[in-house]
């Protein structure tokens, strides 16, 4: 089957998926969970084979060791994946929700109704858990999926997709072609060209992967490449709390997109804040870089170059800049940040408001850690990714970001001619309760 044929089948499946009842979709999800549970032994065996091969590649220096951690599927991780499918079954179905209703005129009612997007292409690297996480969210929201994972995870992904399709095959109302898998690099190139069949792409993986996809397709891409998050310490601040929040933003899990990369400090408090922060950060093994003013306060730290302000370290490194005021901080963040997640630490509600409306990022935070920007913590249940796009869905994206809407107009014989010209009927345009 060519990628084009796969995508055509996925498109046909999507049309039928869009009208499945919530109850049926939930039964399907529970069946998927059961099937994975029943086939756990097999799945873990296939995964172990992926890991065994990857270990050889790591030994030969062909793959980096962090890959092994992402690749590895043990009983407890599989169990988490199964529980997560069950939690998606428990979530509210976004499809069919009436988002607005207007009486255009008597007997002429307009509704805006949430509906699935269609076919979603998911391109990820070596995490097999992406299959069940993104797959279950797409299915619940009525979308069909084409999955392409890293070749190192080939066996794991194949058996997971096979098991999920096996579960669906027990329901005659569910079309064939809901979960599809493609395997080669050439398949990815082919996918990127199918803008008439694939409605949305979700890349999960390195910045390079995301950037490559963004620049090689006309299909809308949901996601982000860089996660350059900033923490700004304003003049009027609780020092112990600010220090703790800087440490958490940087150190709680430095290898992820919502960890802080730049720290900005108001000039009038820099002399107090910076030594405290330095002590805590250095105890946590963080390498500090600073602007000239920072270097005067924190003697001996390395200089931060212009390049540093635009770098996502994903590591225990932090660049520090002293700023004249809130406005300079906001301008700095809009210039150097990546529109992902930025925090202000201040007791001043006015400053926080100004920061919120001035910083053009998907998440803006006040007096808490940047690490909160995440679908689970935001209560979305699960996420398909974090988007820095400024159209469609932004920030952590869960089920709601996987639907769009359709206008539905119910008439009783009205023509536009009746509403045209002098003496034409007038519209009422009265909002109705949904």
Binders of its own copies in range 225-284 (CB under 8 A): 238, 241, 244-245, 247-248, 252-253
Residues 8-67 that bind its own copies (CB under 8 A): 14-15, 18-19
Beta carbons of 340 and 314 less than 8 angstroms apart: no
Q: How far is the CB of 176 from its own copies (least distance, A)?
A: 16
Distance separating alpha carbons of residues 383 and 32, to the nearest angstrom: 19
State yes or no: residue 327 binds its own copies (CB under 8 A).
no
Reading the block at residue 41, the tokens are 């032994």
State yes or no: residue 404 binds its own copies (CB under 8 A).
yes
- Going by C-beta distance under 8 Å and a sequence separation of 6 or more, which residues neighbour residue 285? 251, 316
Binding region for its own copies (CB under 8 A) out of 40-48, 144-152, 273-281, 363-371: 363-371
Edge to edge, the sheet with strand 98-105 lists 108-116, 98-105, 430-431
Residues 73-102 that bind its own copies (CB under 8 A): 102
State yes or no: residue 215 binds its own copies (CB under 8 A).
yes
3-state SS assignment for residue 193: helix
State yes or no: residue 389 binds its own copies (CB under 8 A).
yes
State yes or no: residue 414 binds its own copies (CB under 8 A).
yes
H helices of 298-345, where?
306-309, 326-336
State yes or no: residue 409 binds its own copies (CB under 8 A).
yes
- Output the CA torsion 173→177→181→182 (10° steps): 180
Question: Whose Cβ is closer to its own copies: residue 68's or residue 109's?
Answer: 109
Residue with tokens 């039928």: 16
Q: How far is the CB of 164 from its own copies (least distance, A)?
A: 24
Q: How far is the CB of 118 from its own copies (least distance, A)?
A: 6
Residues 103-142 that bind its own copies (CB under 8 A): 104, 108, 110, 112-113, 115, 117-118
Question: Whose Cβ is closer to its own copies: residue 160's or residue 365's?
Answer: 365
Residues 174-203 that bind its own copies (CB under 8 A): 199-200
Q: What are phi and psi of 299, to 5 degrees?
A: -65, 145
Beta carbons of 75 and 43 less than 8 angstroms apart: no
Q: How far is the CB of 137 from its own copies (least distance, A)?
A: 16
Binder among 417, 422, 423, 433 for its own copies (CB under 8 A): 417
Q: How far is the CB of 87 from its own copies (least distance, A)?
A: 12
Binder among 373, 382, 384, 399 for its own copies (CB under 8 A): 373
Binding region for its own copies (CB under 8 A) out of 58-66, 269-277, 288-296, 360-368: 360-368
Under DSSP, the state recorded for 175 is: P
Distance separating alpha carbons of residues 320 and 262, to the nearest angstrom: 6
Question: Whose Cβ is closer to its own copies: residue 46's or residue 226's?
Answer: 226
Distance separating alpha carbons of residues 203 and 384, to the nearest angstrom: 9
Under DSSP, the state recorded for 89 is: H
Provide Rg for the chain, Cα atoms.
25
Distance, CA of 325 to chain centre = 32
Binding region for its own copies (CB under 8 A) out of 53-61, 146-154, 295-303, 414-422: 414-422
Binder among 416, 422, 423, 426 for its own copies (CB under 8 A): 416
Distance separating alpha carbons of residues 339 and 226, to the nearest angstrom: 9
Beta carbons of 216 and 164 less than 8 angstroms apart: no
Distance separating alpha carbons of residues 274 and 37, to the nearest angstrom: 51
State yes or no: residue 432 binds its own copies (CB under 8 A).
no
Cα→Cα distances 171→28, 168, 175, 421, Å: 8, 6, 9, 54
Binder among 72, 193, 220, 316 for its own copies (CB under 8 A): 220
* Binding residue count for its own copies, defined by CB under 8 A: 77
State yes or no: residue 396 binds its own copies (CB under 8 A).
yes
Query: What is the CA angle 297-302-307, rounded to 5?
Result: 115
Binder among 412, 422, 426, 433 for its own copies (CB under 8 A): 412
State yes or no: residue 398 binds its own copies (CB under 8 A).
no
Question: Whose Cβ is closer to its own copies: residue 300's or residue 423's?
Answer: 423
Question: Whose Cβ is closer to its own copies: residue 40's or residue 110's?
Answer: 110
Q: Within the chain, what is the greatest distance between any pair of CA atoms?
A: 83
Question: Whose Cβ is closer to its own copies: residue 62's or residue 390's?
Answer: 390
> Which of these, 349, 367, 336, lies nearest to 262 by C-alpha position?
336
Q: How far is the CB of 43 from its own copies (least distance, A)?
A: 26
Residues 328-357 that bind its own copies (CB under 8 A): 330, 334, 352, 354, 356-357
């Amino acid at each position: 089957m060519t990628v084009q044929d796969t995508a055509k089948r996925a498109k046909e499946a999507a049309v039928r998926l869009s009208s499945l009842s919530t109850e049926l979709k939930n039964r399907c999800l529970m069946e998927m969970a059961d099937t994975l549970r029943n086939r756990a032994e097999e799945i873990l065996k296939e995964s172990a084979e992926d890991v065994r091969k990857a270990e050889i590649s790591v030994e030969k220096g062909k793959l980096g060791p962090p890959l092994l951690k992402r690749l590895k599927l043990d009983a407890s991780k599989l169990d988490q994946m199964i529980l997560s499918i069950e939690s998606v079954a428990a979530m509210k179905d976004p499809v069919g929700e009436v988002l607005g209703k207007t009486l255009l005129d008597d007997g002429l009612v307009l509704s805006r109704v949430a509906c699935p997007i269609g076919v979603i292409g998911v391109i990820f690297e070596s995490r097999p858990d992406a299959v069940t996480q993104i797959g279950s969210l797409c299915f619940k929201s009525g979308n069909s999926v084409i999955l392409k994972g890293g070749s190192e995870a080939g066996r794991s992904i194949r058996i997971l997709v096979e098991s999920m399709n096996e579960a669906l095959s027990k329901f005659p109302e569910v079309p064939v072609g809901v979960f599809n898998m493609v395997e080669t690099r050439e398949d990815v190139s082919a996918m990127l060209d199918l803008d008439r069949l694939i409605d949305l792409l979700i890349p999960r993986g390195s910045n390079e992967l995301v950037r490559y996809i963004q620049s090689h397709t006309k299909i809308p891409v949901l996601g982000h490449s860089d996660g350059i998050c900033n923490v700004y310490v304003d003049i009027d601040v609780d020092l112990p709390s600010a220090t703790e929040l800087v440490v958490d933003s940087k150190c709680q899990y430095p290898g992820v997109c919502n960890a802080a990369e730049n720290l900005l400090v108001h000039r009038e408090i820099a002399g107090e804040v910076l030594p405290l922060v330095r002590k805590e950060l250095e105890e946590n093994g963080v390498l500090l870089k600073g602007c000239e003013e920072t270097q005067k306060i924190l003697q001996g730290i390395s200089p931060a170059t212009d390049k540093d302000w635009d770098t996502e370290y994903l590591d225990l490194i932090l660049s520090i800049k002293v700023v004249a005021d809130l406005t300079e901080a906001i301008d700095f963040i809009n210039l150097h940040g990546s529109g992902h997640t930025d925090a202000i630490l201040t007791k001043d509600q006015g400053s926080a408001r100004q920061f919120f409306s001035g910083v053009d990022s998907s998440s803006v935070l006040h007096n808490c850690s940047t690490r909160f920007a995440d679908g689970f913590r935001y209560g979305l249940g699960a996420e398909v990714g974090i988007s820095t796009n400024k159209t469609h869905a932004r920030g952590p994206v869960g089920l709601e970001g996987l639907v769009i809407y359709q206008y539905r107009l119910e008439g009783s014989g009205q023509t536009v001619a009746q509403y045209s010209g002098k003496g034409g009927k007038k519209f009422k345009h009265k909002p109705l309760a949904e």
